[in-house]
Amino acid sequence: MYSFVKKRDEKEKVRERIIRVASDLFYRQGYNSTGINQIIAEADIAIGSLYNHFSSKTDLLQAYLVKEESEWLEGFENSMAKISDPGEKLLALVDYRKNYSRPQSLQDVILSKLLPKPERLILLFLPL
């Protein structure tokens, strides 16, 4: 029994490593510019290991998108958990979406300190 559990855990670690490496490459280079051979090399796995977990690059992309969505929703739910006021929830949603979608720039930090909370909605209409 222990051997089965250990192998399953090791298999899951390889799968997660493949997704992590592919996620990083997809983010930095884009999906179309990232090749299977690069993912295999950077994940330090054999080609069979990749195809043992994913039938194609598209299958790997789907796993990446599911992971991203799960992380986004988990973070969103955590950020909303302690807020009960609907107006504050709306502002928190705007802030969460803005902060999650790109690294915060110095301009964003300055604006968030200068503008009162209700006026942050204006940021939705400013170019990113």
* pLDDT tens column, 7-52: 555 666 899 999 999 988 988 888 888 999 999 999 999 999 999 9
Per-residue pLDDT tens over the stretch 61-89:
889 888 888 888 898 888 888 899 988 88
Amino acid 42: pLDDT = 95
Looking at residue 111, its pLDDT comes to: 47
Q: Contact 21/42 with Cβ under 8 angstroms?
A: yes
- Find the DSSP H helices in the chain: 2-29, 36-43, 47-53, 57-80, 86-101, 106-114
Mean pLDDT of the chain: 77
